[in-house]
Amino acid sequence: MIFIEGWFSVTPEKIARHIAKRCRCNVIVDAFCGVGGNTIQFAFTCEKGISMLTLKKQQNFFIFLIHLVIAIDIDPKKIEMAKQNAKVYGVEDRIEFIQGDFLQLAPTLSADVVYLSPPWGGPAYGSIDIFDLEKNIDLNGYRIFELAKKITPNLVYFLPRNVNIEQVISLMDEQTPMELEQNFLNNRLKTITAYFGDLAKQIQF
């Protein structure tokens, strides 16, 4: 069951790579890392790509520059699978894996960007006409977003193609600009990604 659910929750690598490039930063939280598909791509964007920690001398002071992915999942089996996958890709030294509940951990976290891809309910989500953020995400998509926004305004919400767009737009406010991106693969719409804060492209009209 873990394998099947993990398989359907993995972001296609091409899309994951694209999102990771847009999210390049020092510290990013992958709040629902699953088996590590996005986590691995985030790790590839870590500066210098050698270690999580580098030293820079400036005015006789050493400044610690942390380049790190914090990968969280409540399921210990998925965390173990994510660790193994990261090892295969050679990026395990750039990731801090935490087995725990993001809803409980959120108040303790600090990051530049938070990536949200909560479970959609396996393959059954595709049979839903309109995917509801509140009803179809077990943990309540609105609650997840509000907790993440307390960490940083720079958020990414990865959602199914049939998500209720009006609900997603309602997450935006004057302090939190938003950009909606359609993700296509082989000329087919696969997913919707919402970027918030500094990650949202400023469109001139």
Handedness of CA 178, 179, 185, 191 (dihedral sign): positive
Of 183, 169, 176, the residue nearest 133 (C-alpha): 169
Over the stretch 41-94, which tens digit does the pLDDT of each residue have? 999 986 543 333 434 444 454 445 556 999 999 999 999 999 999 999 999 999
Mind listing the pLDDT tens digit for each residue in 114-147?
999 999 876 776 778 899 999 999 899 999 999 9
User: What is the pTM (predicted TM-score) of this model?
Assistant: 0.86
CB-CB contact of 97 with 43 (8 Å): no
Tokens of 143: 């609650």
Q: What contacts 5, CB < 8 A, 6 or more positions away?
A: 119, 122
What's the CA gap between 41 and 20, in Å, rounded? 6
Q: Which domains does the chain have, with CATH numbers?
A: 2-199 (3.40.50.150)
Q: By mean pLDDT, which of 6-15, 85-94, 145-154, 182-191 is the weakest?
A: 6-15
Q: Which residue has the tokens 């999102």?
A: 19
